[in-house]
Amino acid sequence: MSRKATHAEVEERVTEVYILLIRGASRADILRHAADRWHLATRQAEDYLARANARLRELASFIHEEELGKARERLNDLYSKNYRVQSYRDALACQKELNELLGLYPVKTERHEHSGPGGAPIQIERILDPHELVARLRDELAAGEEAPALGAPDPEPPGRN
């Protein structure tokens, strides 16, 4: 029977599991690591994993205003250091980042327009009767035409045959 781990050993193991988690290790990887390195049963390794996950949850909760204040001061500090050594490009990058952080730029919007061939409006014809729709599609396919809703197939790239 193995001895019980000391509080310091437990903390060290939880920290090691925590590092494995932030480096992307899976649950199975961590359980295997705990079994190989510390000769632990699955239940004890899962306890360490739960404690490491609790640390992650703690770090995920933050006070927005405090973090915003830290970020502002770090950027101001970097700006002044870069300006002092005449690294104006880096100082400008800090200023732009600060402006973005503070929301000083107008909101970026994207506009998407959908149009038909040649920029013309898309023609929509609503066919309520499913039998009529099937008949029209069959007629178009029989005539060798592409159905407008299906689009044309991609052309073959040049030089490929």
Q: What is the pLDDT of residues 1-52, one digit of tens each?
A: 567 889 999 999 999 999 999 999 999 999 999 999 999 999 999 999 999 9
Nearest 10 degrees: CA dihedral of 31, 35, 41, 45? -40
Cα-to-chain-centroid distance, residue 70: 24
What predicted TM-score, i.e. pTM, was given to this entire model?
A: 0.47
Local structure of residue 144 (DSSP, 8 states):
T
pLDDT single digits (tens) 86-117 = 999 999 999 999 999 999 998 888 877 778 77
